[in-house]
């Protein structure tokens, strides 16, 4: 009986499937010890676990589809943009306790703007101010999270 090799027809879809599978596994790993609860009385781990299983299901589906459906080849990666986005996330973690949510949100949005090839700094500054105020109102005032609003 001849052995047939599986051929990846859509590498972009397969790569995104791998990303979803990794995120789903990370969600399960980090949320494993959190109490699940029930659908009526959800515990702290209910949503992370449910969303992680959904990510895993989509990842498996996309991986299977990448073997069946023809798609575009992988292009050259934009490492600069990815590095700036990851640095922005680290910047948020470093600043939020020290500078407050209002300042941190604006700084992170402006830093992430550097990842775009067509930087529009004036629009980014307006967006940063609007989002900083919005996030502060939602997370501090409406949700009452213990995040400092200002330094």
Stretch 50-79: mean pLDDT: 89
Can you read off the two tokens belonging to residue 89? 């996330």
Can you read off the two tokens belonging to residue 74? 């992988």
Domain ranges of the chain: 11-68, 79-142
More confident residue, 105 or 3: 105
Asked if pLDDT for residue 117 goes beyond 90, the answer is no
Please tell me the distance from the alpha carbon of residue 138 to that of residue 127, in angstroms, as a whole number: 16
Looking at mean pLDDT, say which of 7-11, 76-80, 97-101 comes out highest.
Answer: 97-101
Instruction: Give the CA angle between residues 103, 132, 100 to the nearest 5°.
Output: 35
Say what the pLDDT of residue 3 is.
Answer: 58
């Amino acid at each position: 009986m001849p052995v047939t090799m599986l051929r990846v027809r859509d590498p972009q879809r397969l790569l995104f499937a791998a990303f979803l599978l990794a995120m789903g596994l990370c969600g399960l790993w980090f949320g494993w010890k959190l109490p699940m609860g029930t659908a009526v009385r959800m515990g702290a781990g209910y949503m992370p676990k449910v969303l992680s299983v959904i990510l895993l299901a989509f990842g498996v589906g996309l991986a299977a589809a990448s073997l069946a459906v023809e798609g575009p080849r992988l292009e050259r990666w934009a490492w600069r943009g990815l590095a700036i986005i990851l640095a922005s996330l680290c910047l948020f973690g470093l600043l939020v306790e020290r500078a407050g949510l209002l300042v941190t949100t604006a700084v992170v949005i402006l830093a992430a703007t550097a990842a775009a090839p067509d930087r529009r700094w004036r629009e980014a500054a307006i967006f940063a101010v609007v989002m900083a105020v919005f996030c502060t109102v939602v997370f501090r005032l409406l949700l009452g999270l213990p995040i400092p609003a200002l330094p």
